[in-house]
A and B are shown apart, each in its own frame.
Chain A
Amino acid sequence: AQSVAQPEDQVNVAEGNPLTVKCTYSVSGNPYLFWYVQYPNRGLQFLLKYITGDNLVKGSYGFEAEFNKSQTSFHLKKPSALVSDSALYFCAVRGANSNTGKLIFGQGTTLQVKP
């Protein structure tokens, strides 16, 4: 069965510092991995995805994520956090071999960036 875990309910960083939001997954076969962000009272927005190729994926708003197959992880990173990055972040996974195509979301991590 597909699953995705975000082990931290909340991540706190100071503005200007690097940030990491963790995500690990479990799928049969190769994974399709996604990160989404949800700002207060707004819908989810796509940040980036990994399908195949380079393990380091660059996305919107300066975010990037690194796919690590041996550790089954897809951590979200940003070199220098902004206060405006404060939001709820979701990791999601879909197995390439899945015949249903369902995208499974993690439980979400709240990122709080303080000035």
Chain B
Amino acid sequence: EADIYQTPRYLVIGTGKKITLECSQTMGHDKMYWYQQDPGMELHLIHYSYGVNSTEKGDLSSESTVSRIRTEHFPLTLESARPSHTSQYLCASSAGFREKLFFGSGTQLSVL
């Protein structure tokens, strides 16, 4: 069983609000990732981290930001949400480059 948790599971908010999507893992993985996915569509990497105080932007441009102050925690923040941010956000972690990703259950974000 994957020990990676995302909260909230669903979030509906108004335009302009600041939000933080939480992601935590208890496996001690150094590598963590955020993917964005529209329903039934491909995954786009938006942020990744290889360890504490290490964060990089992914392939898909995103207005979100991330932080990695602790190994187990990799939150994603949107300073001012817009309807174009409506999507599913998936957090993942892995023990190494040869290892599989463990995915959280995702956060379905709807911005009205």
- Using a CB–CB cutoff of 8 Å, the interface residues on chain A facing chain B are 32, 34, 36, 42-46, 49, 51, 88, 90, 94, 98, 100-108, 110
Contact with A along B1-36 (1 / 0, CB 8 A): 010000000000000000000000000000101010
A103: shortest Cβ distance to chain B, in Å?
A: 6
In the complex, are the beta carbons of B103 and A101 less than 8 A apart?
no
Interface string of B66-105 (1 = CB under 8 A from A): 0000000000000000000000001010000110111111
Q: A102-B59, A107-B42, A108-B41 are in contact. Are A46 and B48 (CB under 8 A)?
A: no
Q: How far is the CA of A101 from the CA of B98 in the complex (A)?
A: 9
| One of B41, B45, B102, B105 near A102 (C-beta < 8 A) | B45
Interface residue range, chain B: 20 to 34
Give the 3 A-B residue pairs with the shortest CB-CB distance, closest first: A107-B42, A101-B97, A43-B103
Nearest chain B CB to A51 CB, angstrom units:
5
Per the bound structure, the CA–CA distance linking A94 and B2 in Å amounts to 21
Q: Which residue of A lies closest to B4 (CB)?
A: A43
Contact A43 B40 (CB under 8 A): no
- Given known contacts A101-B31, A101-B48, what 16 new A-B pairs fall within 8 Å (CB)? A36-B101, A46-B101, A46-B102, A51-B98, A94-B97, A98-B97, A100-B48, A101-B50, A102-B45, A102-B48, A102-B59, A103-B45, A104-B59, A105-B42, A108-B40, A108-B42
Docked complex: B33-68 residues within 8 A CB-CB of A: 33, 35, 40-43, 45, 48, 50, 56, 58-59
Chain A residues whose CB sits within 8 angstroms of the CB of B100 once the complex forms: 34, 46, 49
